Amino acid sequence: MTTTSQVRVTHIGGPTALIEVGGWRLLTDPTFDPPGRRYDFGWGTSSTKTTGPSMTPADLGPIDAVLLTHDHHGDNLDDLGRAMLPDAGSVLTTESGARRIGGNARGLAPWATTTLQAEGRPTIEVTATPCRHGPPLSGPIVGDVVGFALRWDGQRHGQLWISGDTVLFQGTHEVADRLRIGTALLHLGGVRFPITGPLRYTMTARDAVQLCQALRPHTVIPVHYEGWRHFRQNRDAAEREFAAAAPDIHRSIRWLEVGVGTEIPG
């Protein structure tokens, strides 16, 4: 059985990251459109992209699987990202998203599991984890979202988890209760929209600190925290929150240089 503890993560920008492990090349939430366009998110909400990606789809090479937390918001799947989905080996996403995408898409409900298998590579068990992309009872408005926990033989510190766009709620605490997380890619930014005032739709760094107190991960990689006008907490503000956290949590934070592959303890 093939095992590995070596993981390489390239933060391409926004929620988009390339995860390389044991010969697998996995891509999260493909967003490759150039900046400047305004995107409608529905129900009176919209935002403008202010920063482009560090790489193009042509720069990436082949992708074995796309881990798509949700397909219906342009800051998680834009036009150029959508165009590359048919060329990926598979697309793992929400059940409703898989119905919309069709083709090579596999839908997963929260806590459902599937596997990625190929000769000469470690089998990766992928578990969809719950997300709530907004305040209580906002599900019918914001739509379905999932995170992904990845497990393979040889992991030293625990599973690799992509939180997806979510606030803190019972489902994120269930992740801490049910899984041992070694590396967490946390979607931050403290998203708010003028039409809904103080209501938030993703975690702030303070929320992330609270979650990490339960998760106790070895490595925390912030993603999806700037590059759009609807993000309300940029890196500088998040760093201040992390600096005030307990030393073990502060030490776990890894800000990746965008566009540069970084070796992460598995």
pLDDT tens across 127-140, in order?
999 999 999 988 88
In a domain, 137, yes or no: yes
Q: How far apart are CA 83 and CA 91, in angstroms?
A: 12
Reply yes or no on whether the pLDDT at 48 is more than 70.
Answer: yes
Average of per-residue pLDDT across 214-224: 97
Q: Which two tokens stand for residue 172?
A: 């994120």
Determine the pLDDT at residue 141: 86
CATH number for the domain that contains residue 62: 3.60.15.10
Q: Is the alpha carbon torsion for 157, 265, 108, 90 positive or negative?
A: negative
Determine the pLDDT at residue 181: 98
Determine the pLDDT at residue 168: 97
- Judge if pTM exceeds 0.75: yes
Q: Count CB atoms within 10 A of the CB of residue 227.
A: 20
Average of per-residue pLDDT across 72-79: 97
In a domain, 23, yes or no: yes
| Overall domain count for the chain | 1
Determine the pLDDT at residue 3: 63
Determine the pLDDT at residue 137: 84
pLDDT tens across 147-204, in order?
999 999 999 999 999 999 999 999 999 999 999 999 999 999 999 998 889 999 999 9
Name the band, by pLDDT with cuts 50, 70 and 90, for residue 211. Answer: very high
In a domain, 1, yes or no: no
Reply yes or no on whether the pLDDT at 1 is more than 60.
Answer: no
Name the average pLDDT for the chain.
95
In a domain, 54, yes or no: yes
In a domain, 139, yes or no: yes
The boundaries of the domain holding residue 160 are 7-256
In a domain, 193, yes or no: yes
